[in-house]
């Protein structure tokens, strides 16, 4: 709960920024004009983003948000693929030492964002699709959705906030 106030403040701050929803995938019709949008994935997402805040809810209970103390996470996008990396900042020498990574392809249509996880350090996650809502606020991305992996009895709601790195 002690993270709820800073996260709420961060979301309000981002909401005050010039907002722009994620662009439509190439060749998709714009629902407001009916015209084709020539914007490519790479024009919308290409780059490296750092996770600056998140919440995870499991059965309505909020878990400790990522990244934990002494950890950082980045997500990288090109025109068709994404990858994420999370590690501790003590080079594996602290009690919360971790390395986590994964990647695959993605699709983006309006704010509907789907990841197809092809590679993951947690091999049971590979081969699954995860559907999210992706919203842009200036140089930030907010990713919201449900991560569900029935074989592992995992179902959790996530909200992740990323800021684009220079």
pLDDT digits (tens, 9 = 90+) for 40-56: 444 578 999 999 999 88
pLDDT of 1: 42
Provide the token pair at 111. Answer: 């704010």
Convert the pLDDT of each residue in 54-107 to its tens digit: 988 888 777 766 667 788 999 999 999 999 999 999 998 887 789 999 999 999
Give how far the C-alpha of residue 21 lies from the chain's centroid of Cα atoms, to the nearest Å: 15
Helix (H, G, I), strand (E, B) or coil at 101: strand
Higher pLDDT, 3 or 69: 69
What are the structural domains, with CATH classification, of the chain? 4-164 (2.40.128.280)
Convert the pLDDT of each residue in 117-129 to its tens digit: 999 999 999 999 9
């Amino acid at each position: 709960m002690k993270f709820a106030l800073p996260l709420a403040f961060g979301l309000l701050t981002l909401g005050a920024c010039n907002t722009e929803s994620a662009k439509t995938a190439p060749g998709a019709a714009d629902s407001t004009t009916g015209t084709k949008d020539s914007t490519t994935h790479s024009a919308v997402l290409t780059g490296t983003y750092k996770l600056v805040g998140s919440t995870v809810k499991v059965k309505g209970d909020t878990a400790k948000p990522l990244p934990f103390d002494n950890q950082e996470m980045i997500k990288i996008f090109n025109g068709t693929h994404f990858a994420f990396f999370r590690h501790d900042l003590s080079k594996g020498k602290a009690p919360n030492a971790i390395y986590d990574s994964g990647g695959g392809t993605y699709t983006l249509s309006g704010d509907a964002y789907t990841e197809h996880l092809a590679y993951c350090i947690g091999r049971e996650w590979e081969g699954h699709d995860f559907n999210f809502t992706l919203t842009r606020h200036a140089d930030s991305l907010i990713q919201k959705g449900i991560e569900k992996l029935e074989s592992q009895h995992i179902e959790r709601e996530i909200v992740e906030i990323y800021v684009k790195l220079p």
